[in-house]
Structure 1
Amino acid sequence: MLIRRLAAEERLTTSFPLQAYAFEASPLTRERVEAFHRYLPYNKGNRTLVVEEDGETCAAASAVPMRQNLRGAVLPMAGVAGVATHPLARRKGHVRALLHQLLDEMRDGGHPLTALYPFRASFYEKFGYVGLPRARTVRFSPADLGPLLRAELPGTVTWERIGAGYDRFRSFTERCLRERHGFAIFPDFRDVGLRDRDDRWLLTATIDGSTVGALTYRIDDHGGELVGDDLLATDPYARALLLQFLARHVDQVERISLQVPADELPELWLTDLAVHVEARVARPGSSAPMARLLTVDALAGLPAGPGRVRVELVGDRWLAGTHLLDGATGHLELTSGGPAPTATLTAAGLSALAYGVLDPAEVDVRGLGDVGPDAAVELRRLFPRAHPHLFADF
C-alpha cells in the first residue's frame, strides 16, 4: 500500500471520480465528467492524498485549509472532505491510514483544528471528532411576514447577483468569522467559486454604513419556493430587514426555506408565523458536522471562567499527556503545579468541552471520559456551554 499526495491535474482521473461515485448520482454522465475541469481550479490549495495498490487508486481524502472561530480565537482549521474508497477496496483500513497521514500533515502545517461532515459519526468519533449542531431548515409562507411590511426599520437592503456582490458578501463572512463561535470559512481560492458560478441572488442589510446581514438564495419557479442558504444577521434589526424583503414575494412564491443556526428561534420572530423548523440527521446523506482539536495548544488564551482542573488525555494519536487547565485570569492557561481535581478525557471529550457542545456529565455518560463531580464543576467554569455555527458546507 502506497500513500501519496496528488498533483493538481491528477485529481481529474483519480480522486474526483472516486469521490463522485461515493457521493453523487452514478454512473457519471459525460457532462459531469466535463464539469470536473471547471471545478479543478477551486481545489488548487487542497491537500489530497490517495492510497494506491498495484498502481490503482483505492481511496482518497482531501483537506481544505480553512479558518474557524473557537470561542473568539480565529485559528487555522483543516476541513476534511471527499473521503472515499473504491467499492472493491472497502473495509481494509485504507481510510484509517489516509486520515492518520492527512491529519499528521495538516497538524504539522499549523492547523490546530479540524472539522468534517461524516459518512458515519461513530467512525469518526474513534478519531477524536465530536458532533456539532446541524443548521436548522426553516419553512414558512411569505404571507406570514406581512406585518414586517408595515415596520419602520433602521437601515437599507441591497439586492444583486452574487457575482456582482461577492466582495461585499465575503467581507461580511469575514466579520462573522471574527465574531461567531464555530464559524468557519473557505480559503479565497475555494470561495470564489460562489462568485464565478453566479447562480444565487445576494441580499445584504446595511445599518449606519455597515453590513449587518446577508442571505444568498434562488427561486425554483413561479408559485414555487424561494430557497435560501444561511440567514446571517448580527442582530434582530438585521434579520428583520432581510425578512421584510422576503415578505415582498407573497404573490411570487408559495413558501420560503432558509438555513439558520441551532440557537435561532424562528417561532418567536413574529406573532402568527406558522413555521416548520427541522434539523434532519440521517445516515447516509444528511449528517451533522463534527470537529476536534489536533493540539492542546489551541486552548491557550481562550476566554474561560475561573476553573482549574487537571486533565489526562488518553487513547489518541494527537492529544496525550496530563495538562493543568487554569482560567483564573479570565483566559485559559496551560500551567503546571498545584493541586486540582483530575478528569480523564478522550480527544472527543476534550473537543466537546472546547466547542461547548456537551456538559462534563454528558462527556462522562457517553464514555468520552471519566469526569468526577469535582472535576465537572471546574470544567463547567472553564468551558461554558455554547452553540457553534460551522456555516461552511464542505
Structure 2
Amino acid sequence: MLIRRLAAEERLTTSFPLQAYAFEASPLTAERVEAFHRYLPYNKGNRTLIVEEGGETRATASAVPMRQNLRGAVLPMAGVAGVATHPLARRQGYVRALLRQLLDEMRDGGHPLSALYPFRASFYEKFGYVGLPRARTVRFSPADLAPLLRTALPGTVSWERIGTGYARFRSFTERCLRERHGFALFPDFRDVGLRDRDDRWLVTATVDGGVVGALTYRIDDHGGELVGDDLLATDPYARALLLQFLARHVDQVDRISLQVPADELPELWLTDLAVQVEARVSRPGSLAPMARLLSVDSLAGLPAGPGRVRIELVGDRWLAGTHLLDGATGHLELTSGGPAPEATLTAAGLSALAYGVLDPAEVHIRGLGDIGPEAATELRRLFPRVLPYLFADF
C-alpha cells in the first residue's frame, strides 16, 4: 500500500471519480466529467492523499485549509472532505491509514482544529471527533411576514447577484468568523467559486454604513419556493430587515426556506408565524457535522471560567499526556503544578467540552471520559456550554 499526495491535475482521474461515485448519482455522465475540469481550480490549495495498490487508486481523502472560531479565537482548521473508497476496497483499513497521515500532515502544518461531515459518526468518533449541532431548516409562508411591512426598522437592504456582491458578502462572513463560536470559512481559492458560479441572489442589511446581515438565495419557480442558504444576522434588527425583504415576495412564491443556527428560535420571530423547524439527521446522506482538537496547545489563552482541573488524555494519536487546566485569570492556562481534581478524557471528550456541545456528565455517560463530581464542577466552570455554529458546508 502506497500513500501519496496528488498533484493538482491528477485529481481529474483519481480522487474526483472516486468521490463522485461515493456522493453523487452514477454512472457519471460526460457532462459531469467535463465539470471536473471547471471544479479543479477551486481545489488547488487542498491537500489530497490517495492510497495506491498495483497502480490503481483504492481510496482518497482531502483536507481544506480553513479557519474556525473556537470560543473567540480564530484558528487554522483542517476541513476533511471527499473521503471515499473504491467499492472493491472498502472495509480494508485504507481510510484509517489515510486519515492518520492526513491529520498528521495538517497538524504538523499548523492546523490545531479539524472538522468534517461524516459518512458514519461512530467511525469518526474513534478518531476523536465529536458531533456539532446541525443547522435548522426553517419553512414558512411569506404571507405570515406581513406585520414586518408595517414596521419601521433602522437600516436599509440592498439586492444584487452574488457575483456582483461577493466582496461585500465575504467581508461580512469574515466579521462573523471573528464574532461567532464555531463559525468557519473556506480559503479564498475555494470560496470564490460562489462568485464565479453566480447562481444566487444576495440581499444584505446595512445599518450606519456597515453590513449587519446577509442571505444568499434562489427561487425555483413562480408560485414555488424561495430557497435561502444561511440567514446571517448580527442582531434582531438585522434579521428583521432580511425578513422584511422576504415579505415582499408574497405574490411571487408560496413558501420560503432558510438555514438557521441551532440556537435560533424562529417560532418567536413573530406572532401568528406558522413555521416548521427541522434538523434532519439520517444515514446515509444527511449527518450532523463533527469536529475535534488536534493540539492541546490550541486551548491556551481561550476565554475560560475560574475552574482548575488536571486531565489525562488517553487513546488518541494526537492528544496525549497529563495537563493541568487553569482558568483563574479568565483565560485558560496550561500549567504543571499544584493540586486539582482529576479526570480522564478521550480526544472526543475534550473536544466536546472545548466546543461546548456536551456537559461533563454527558461526556461520562457516552464513554468519552471518566469524570468525578468534583472534576465535573471544575470543567463546567472552565468550559461553559455554548452552541457552535459551523457555517461552512464542505
TM-score range, shorter chain: over 0.9
Offset from partner CA, 1:224-251 (integer Å, 9 cap, x none): 0000000000000000000000000000
Partner in structure 2 of residue 368 of structure 1: 368
Q: Distance in 2 between matches of 1:54 and 1:258?
A: 47
Residue 176 (structure 2) aligns with: 176
Give CA deviations for 1:129-156 in whole Å, capped at 9, x if unaligned.
Answer: 0000000000000000000000000000
Taking only the aligned residue pairs, the percentage that are identical comes to 91
Q: CA deviation at 1:198?
A: 0.1
1:52 is the counterpart of 2:87:
no
For 1:73-99, what per-residue CA distance to the aligned partner results, in whole angstroms no more than 9, with x for missing partners? 000000000000000000000000000
Could you say what secondary structure the match of 1:167 adopts?
helix
Cα deviation code 1:330-355 (max 9, x no counterpart): 00000011000000000000000000
**TM-score, normalised to structure 1's length?**
1.00
Question: Aligned with 2:330: secondary structure?
Answer: coil
- State the distance in 1 between where 2:143 and 2:45 align: 45
SS at match of 1:199: coil
Using the TM superposition, give the Cα deviation of residue 3 of structure 1 relative to its aligned residue in structure 2, in angstroms: 0.1
Match of 1:202 in 2: 202
Helix, strand or coil for the counterpart of 2:79? strand
Instruction: Give the distance between the partners of 1:376 and 1:76, measured in 2 at CA.
Output: 29
In structure 2, stretches of 5+ residues that fail to align are none
SS state of the match for residue 145, structure 2? Answer: helix
Alpha-carbon distance in 1 for matches of 2:323, 2:244: 51
Equivalence map 1:78-117=2 (5 Å): 78-117=78-117
- Equivalent-residue separation in structure 1 for 2:20 and 2:313 (angstroms): 37
Write the mapping of 1:114-153 to structure 2, written as runs, cut at 5 A: 114-153=114-153
TM-score if structure 2 supplies the norm length?
1.00
Helix, strand or coil at the partner of 2:166: helix
CA distance in 1, matches of 2:114, 2:14: 24
Runs of 5+ in structure 1 lacking a partner?
Answer: none
**Which residue matches 2:289?**
289
User: After superposition, what is the alpha-carbon deviation per residue over 1:151-188, rounded to whole angstroms, capped at 9, x for unaligned?
Assistant: 00000000000000000000000000000000000000
Q: Secondary structure at the match of 2:253?
A: coil
Which whole-Å deviations, capped at 9, do the CAs of 1:349-375 have from their partners, x for residues lacking one? 000000000000000000000000000
4+ residue segments displaced more than 3 Å = none
| Structural mapping, 1:29-68, within 5 Å | 29-68=29-68
Q: Match of 1:344, SS? A: strand
Give distance in 1, aligned partners of 2:40 and 2:150. Answer: 48
- In structure 2, C-alpha distance between the alignment counterparts of 1:63 and 1:249, rounded to whole Å: 40
SS, match of residue 134 in structure 2: coil
The CA distance in 2 between the partners of 1:175 and 1:353, in whole Å, is 25
Q: Distance in 2 between matches of 1:359 and 1:244?
A: 38
Shift of 1:19: 0.1
Shift of 1:15: 0.1
Cα distance between partner residues in 1 of 2:130 and 2:298: 16
Q: Find the residue that maps to 2:206 and give its secondary structure.
A: strand
Q: Distance in 1 between matches of 2:386 and 2:29?
A: 44
> What secondary structure does 1:48 align onto?
strand
Secondary structure of the corresponding residue to residue 262 of structure 2? coil
Give distance in 2, aligned partners of 1:251 and 1:372: 59
What's the CA shift for 1:191? Answer: 0.1
Q: Look up the SS of the partner of 2:17 in the other structure.
A: helix
User: Alpha-carbon deviation of 1:60?
Assistant: 0.1
Deviation of 1:102 after TM superposition, in Å, equals: 0.1
1:224 aligns with 2:224: yes
Give the secondary-structure state (helix, strand or coil) at the position aligned to 2:222: coil
Distance 2:232 2:343 in 1: 37
Shift of 1:56: 0.2
Q: Secondary structure at the match of 2:226?
A: strand
Q: Determine the C-alpha separation between the residues in 1 that align with 2:40 and 2:28.
A: 17
Counterpart position of 1:254 = 254
Aligned to 1:392: 392
Partner secondary structure for residue 385 of structure 2: coil
**What is the CA distance between 1:211 and its match in structure 2?**
0.2
Partners in 2 of 1:324 and 1:293 — Cα distance?
A: 17
2-structure distance, mates of 1:160, 1:90: 46
Q: How many residues align?
A: 394
SS in 1 for 2:148: helix
Distance 1:178 1:67 in 2: 10
CA-CA distance at 1:265 after TM superposition: 0.1
Q: Once the two structures are superposed, what CA deviation does each residue of 1:259-281 show, in whole Å capped at 9, x if it has no partner?
A: 00000000000000000000000
SS of the residue corresponding to residue 138 of structure 1 reads strand
In 1: Cα distance, 2:388 partner to 2:60 partner: 28
> 1:106 Cα deviation (Å)?
0.1
SS state at 1:3 partner? strand
